[in-house]
Amino acid sequence: MKFDTPAGTNPIDQGKVVGRPTPRIDGPLKTSGRAPYAYERHDVAENAAYGVIVHAGIAKGRLNALHLDEAKAAPGVVTIVTADTAGKLGKGNMNTAKLLGGPEIDHYHQAIALVVAETFEQARAAANLVRADYARGQGKYDLEAALPGAPPVPDPNANDGKGPKIDKVGDFERFFASAPVKLDQKYTTPDQSHAMMEPFATIAAWKGDELTVWTSNQMINWTKGDLAKTLGLPKEKVRLDSPYVGGGFGGKLFLRADAVMAALGARQAGRPVKVTIARPMMANNATHRPATIQRIRIGCDKDGTITAIAHESGSGDLPGGGPETAVSQTKLLYAGAHRMTAMKLAVLDLPEGNAMRAPGEAPGLMALEIAMDEMAEKLGMDPVQFRIKNDTMVDPEKPERKFSQRHLVQCLNDGAQRFGWSRRNAKPAQVRDGRWLVGMGVASGFRNNMNQKSAARVGIDKQGMVTVATDMTDIGTGTYTIVAQTAAEMMGVPIDSVNVLLGDSSFPVSAGSGGQWGGNSSTAGVYAACMKLREAVAQKLGFNATDVTFANGKVTSGNRSADLKDAAGLSAEETMEYGDLAKQYQQSTFAGHFVEVGVDAYTGEIRIRRMLAVCDAGRIINPTSARSQVIGAMTMGVGAALMEELAVDKRFGFFVNHDLATYEVPVHADIPHQEVVFLDYPDDTTSPMKAKGVGELGLCGVGAAIANAIYNATGVRVRDYPITLEKHLAKLPMVA
């Protein structure tokens, strides 16, 4: 099915199930510990041995020798995989660094061997007996030092990555120079780790030349292809199964070392092997969100009209990697006739940089939305009004191209009213509550909606149960539930008559979970399969397909009615594909983020007091799980604003704080009441679901709202994330 004209009225609009707050259908399995996560799937592969990875102890250089004798002789050891024993390996399309290093080492904690043993403890003990002799190479680890010589690069997400290296509209330099009010500031964001709850984990088993991996992955089809490519197998010889994923945040978009090493270990051991990557190895072994150094210039008329806006960002990655696209939102968020965006990419020998929740927009808005706050202050304007003044209903780079919908102004106005914004003192450092300096901040949230082709198979059995199968993943987001809601609405059955099967590569290929495209895209695929099934049911039951209704387990047309289960045995598979509506219309999601913080006047400690997000993200399929997504993202934004930073050791080239004791993410005590409001405007250009992404929107902008609230509380502007107390302590008023 192709979606190439705006959706008319369709069965989803009934709203009997879709759009209703619906508890997770997989909730009981998860709360009772019966949802099988990859490492605990004890029933799938008998006699599995345990593999423990040996990780490189240098960031760059060469492995001169790997001494295995002691490890091989250790109790229980079955076999040891190294680059020497693995044979020739390819590299996945989505991977920048090799997943098995040696003799060249590309980054710290890169896998260099896998020790397979009878028990986990034996494998771990033997892995520690492997001795590596390295020739340490010269690496580049300092972004600030590397950027001046780094080349400009085009936006990989626009024009197939072949666009201009500097994106210009009008004459930015001239109009910025002549603007009566201007801002020119530098902002920095650090490297961040996904730090998802479930570590990477895979069980691998071979049957002849066929490989099955039970793993934890967001993008089944990408990873199936990349695993086949890495191992030199035809894609159809590989099966992935990932029904439950304990969080990913982009860290599990790609094939990672656990799956490759488990497959190699199982091949060499001649039996199934399970591998996890220990928490202290995850930050350096896997991918991370790259640090950025950004420069923003804004020129305004005295009335607050933006006349010139430029956003430049520099980031680093291993050779062959890509930039953190921190300038993306600046192309679309505010009006302004004269514009410029550009990115630079330095080669760094740190671990691989790659996508983390809202790649680009998350760090980009952390900078842009402080800049907007600073500019509002220069203009003497309220920061909400300054944003509203520069709202645009068209793509500012191509004014003939409209937004499909845009209710940012409503997000900001509604949010301001609900939050009590009028009580904010525009002059900073004025509000005191005991030892706390109190401030409020606002930021716009923006994240593009993206659709991906997605397929599903839907069938009916004798009991009238509807079963949906798709290789779509549920990474904790609530996919099981929205897929069930969609099928229930379409087939006219209660949600508990829908059985959802996800995450198996033998199912129809879905959009997968990434880029906040999963919810809208995967349910649109289910919609397509259901439409096809409805036709088949109508035909089988002797109805005219055009005027038939599906409700209460019955199929009805005019006076005649039949039970849906009379069509038992029917199933249909269909793919939803997209025409060029996303080119005709700019499809984006918007939010108004409002935050109140307290800053301890003595110690400079920052604590969040209240948070509100008003979100404009199309039809909300399940307000319960959408709210979970947004509050989770707001929490992640608190981490980004206040504490999350992978500290780079610039001498040895690694992230030093590589465990959860030292890489701090928010805990419950950090998170106060969070309020989320959805405007819930169905958007008929996005899909028949009229929905959009919502999983990343909640993160976009919230960090800057916090930063702006801190400034309002203290009068000290910090432009370097995370905003830890030492960055403003010396400038806080002395209290003793």
Partner 1 sequence: MKAFTYERAKTPAEAAAAVANNPGAKFLAGGTNLLDLMKLEIETPSHLVDVQDLKLDRIEETSDGGLRIGAFVSNTDLAAHDRVRRDYGALTRAIVAGASGQLRNKASTAGNLLQRTRCPYFYDTNQPCNKRKPGSGCAAIGGYSRQLGIIGTSDACIATFPGDMAVAMRVLDATVETVKPDGQTRRIPIADFHRLWGNTPHVETALERGELITAVTLPKPIGGTHIYRKVRDRASYAYALVSVAAVIQPDGSARFAVGGIAPKPWRMAEAEALAPKGAKAVATRLLAGARPTSDNAFKVPLVERTIAAVMAEGAKA
**Which of the stretches 17-25, 154-162, 567-575, 642-650 binds partner 1 when contact is defined by CB under 8 A?**
642-650
Q: How far is the CB of 640 from partner 1 (least distance, A)?
A: 13
Q: Is 666 in the site for partner 1 (CB under 8 A)?
A: yes
Please tell me the number of Cα atoms within 13 Å of 461 on its side-chain side.
8
Given 121, 133, 144, 496, the residue binding partner 1 (CB under 8 A): 121
Asked whether the beta carbons of 391 and 410 are under 8 A apart, the reply is no
**Which of the stretches 394-402, 487-495, 660-668, 673-681 binds partner 1 when contact is defined by CB under 8 A?**
660-668
Q: How far is the CB of 567 from partner 1 (least distance, A)?
A: 53
* Residue 111, token pair as written in the block: 């896998």
Given 137, 156, 170, 280, the residue binding partner 1 (CB under 8 A): 280
Query: Which residue number, 351 or 722, has a Cβ lying nearer to partner 1?
Result: 722
Which residues on adjacent β-strands are paired with residue 501? 469
Q: Is 668 in the site for partner 1 (CB under 8 A)?
A: yes
Which residues on adjacent β-strands are paired with residue 13? none
Report residue 615: phi and psi, to 5°: -115, 135
Q: Is 118 in the site for partner 1 (CB under 8 A)?
A: no
CA pseudo-torsion sign 407, 379, 640, 709: negative
Q: Is 207 in the site for partner 1 (CB under 8 A)?
A: no
Q: Is 662 in the site for partner 1 (CB under 8 A)?
A: yes
Task: Give DSSP secondary structure letters for 369-419.
Answer: HHHHHHHHHHHT--HHHHHHHT--SEETTEEEEEES---HHHHHHHHHHHH
Q: Is 142 in the site for partner 1 (CB under 8 A)?
A: no
Query: Which residue number, 56 or 147, has a Cβ lying nearer to partner 1?
Result: 56
Which residue, among 688, 326, 611, has the nearest Cα to 442 in the 3D structure?
611
Asked whether the beta carbons of 279 and 95 are under 8 A apart, the reply is no
Q: Is 61 in the site for partner 1 (CB under 8 A)?
A: no
Q: Is 60 in the site for partner 1 (CB under 8 A)?
A: no
Q: How far is the CB of 478 from partner 1 (least distance, A)?
A: 27
Given 30, 124, 295, 418, the residue binding partner 1 (CB under 8 A): 124
Encoded amino acid at 393, one letter: M
Query: Which residue number, 27 or 602, has a Cβ lying nearer to partner 1?
Result: 602
Q: Is 584 in the site for partner 1 (CB under 8 A)?
A: no
Q: How far is the CB of 259 from partner 1 (least distance, A)?
A: 24
Q: Is 715 in the site for partner 1 (CB under 8 A)?
A: no
Encoded amino acid at 476, one letter: G
Q: How far is the CB of 285 from partner 1 (least distance, A)?
A: 13
Please tell me whether residue 263 adopts helix, strand or coil conformation: helix
Q: Is 667 in the site for partner 1 (CB under 8 A)?
A: yes
CA distance linking residue 405 with residue 402, whole number of Å: 8
**Which of the stretches 119-127, 348-356, 556-564, 617-625 binds partner 1 when contact is defined by CB under 8 A?**
119-127
Given 319, 563, 602, 673, the residue binding partner 1 (CB under 8 A): 602
Query: Which residue number, 243 or 598, has a Cβ lying nearer to partner 1?
Result: 598
Q: Is 133 in the site for partner 1 (CB under 8 A)?
A: no
Q: Is 724 in the site for partner 1 (CB under 8 A)?
A: yes
SS3 per residue for 368-381: HHHHHHHHHHHHCC
Q: Is 729 in the site for partner 1 (CB under 8 A)?
A: yes
Pairing mode of beta strands 554-557, 201-207: unpaired
* Residue 127, token pair as written in the block: 């892995």
Query: Which residue number, 173 or 664, has a Cβ lying nearer to partner 1?
Result: 664
Q: How far is the CB of 61 from partner 1 (least distance, A)?
A: 13
Q: How far is the CB of 735 from partner 1 (least distance, A)?
A: 6
Q: Is 736 in the site for partner 1 (CB under 8 A)?
A: yes
Given 519, 525, 604, 693, the residue binding partner 1 (CB under 8 A): 604
Q: Is 435 in the site for partner 1 (CB under 8 A)?
A: yes
Q: How far is the CB of 216 from partner 1 (least distance, A)?
A: 22
Query: Which residue number, 119 or 544, has a Cβ lying nearer to partner 1?
Result: 119
Q: Is 423 in the site for partner 1 (CB under 8 A)?
A: no
Pairing mode of beta strands 398-403, 585-586: parallel
Q: Is 145 in the site for partner 1 (CB under 8 A)?
A: no
Q: Is 720 in the site for partner 1 (CB under 8 A)?
A: no
User: Residue 544's CB: how many other CB atoms inside 10 A?
Assistant: 10
Active site amino acids: 696
CA distance linking residue 438 with residue 131, whole number of Å: 55
**Which of the stretches 408-416, 498-506, 511-519, 652-660 binds partner 1 when contact is defined by CB under 8 A?**
652-660
CA pseudo-torsion sign 482, 487, 492, 495: negative
Query: Which residue number, 20 or 279, has a Cβ lying nearer to partner 1?
Result: 279
Q: How far is the CB of 724 from partner 1 (least distance, A)?
A: 6
**Which of the stretches 600-608, 613-621, 684-692, 706-714 binds partner 1 when contact is defined by CB under 8 A?**
600-608
CA distance linking residue 40 with residue 33, whole number of Å: 10
Task: Give DSSP secondary structure letters for 35-85.
Answer: S--GGG-TTTSTT-EEEEEEE-SSSSEEEEEEE-HHHHTSTTEEEEEEHHH
Pairing mode of beta strands 498-502, 466-470: parallel
Q: Is 669 in the site for partner 1 (CB under 8 A)?
A: yes
Given 45, 48, 54, 58, the residue binding partner 1 (CB under 8 A): 58
Please tell me the number of Cα atoms within 13 Å of 23 on its side-chain side.
7
Report residue 61: phi and psi, to 5°: 145, -150
Q: Is 137 in the site for partner 1 (CB under 8 A)?
A: no
Q: How far is the CB of 712 from partner 1 (least distance, A)?
A: 20
Query: Which residue number, 54 or 482, has a Cβ lying nearer to partner 1?
Result: 54
Supply the DSSP symbol for 449. -
Please tell me whether residue 614 adopts helix, strand or coil conformation: strand
* Residue 36, token pair as written in the block: 């099988």
Q: How far is the CB of 729 from partner 1 (least distance, A)?
A: 6
Asked whether the beta carbons of 645 and 191 are under 8 A apart, the reply is yes
Which residue, among 458, 502, 495, has the nearest Cα to 480 in the 3D structure?
502
Given 166, 657, 680, 715, the residue binding partner 1 (CB under 8 A): 657
Report residue 92: phi and psi, to 5°: -60, 150
* Residue 396, token pair as written in the block: 């500012």
Given 128, 221, 556, 571, the residue binding partner 1 (CB under 8 A): 128
Asked whether the beta carbons of 421 and 337 are under 8 A apart, the reply is no
CA distance linking residue 526 with residue 458, whole number of Å: 8
Q: Which residue has the tokens 């009772």?
A: 32
How many angstroms separate the most distant Cα atoms in the chain? 86
Q: How far is the CB of 669 from partner 1 (least distance, A)?
A: 4
Encoded amino acid at 380, one letter: G
Question: Which residues, numbered 65-104, are part of the site for partner 1 (CB under 8 A)?
Answer: 75
Q: Is 661 in the site for partner 1 (CB under 8 A)?
A: yes
User: Residue 546's CB: how many other CB atoms inside 10 A?
Assistant: 8
Q: How far is the CB of 281 from partner 1 (least distance, A)?
A: 10
Which residues on adjacent β-strands are paired with residue 616? 590
Given 125, 264, 310, 456, the residue binding partner 1 (CB under 8 A): 125
Residues that bind partner 1 (CB under 8 A): 57-58, 75, 121, 124-125, 128, 280, 435, 600, 602-605, 607, 642-643, 647-649, 651-652, 656-659, 661-662, 664, 666-670, 722, 724-726, 729-730, 735-736
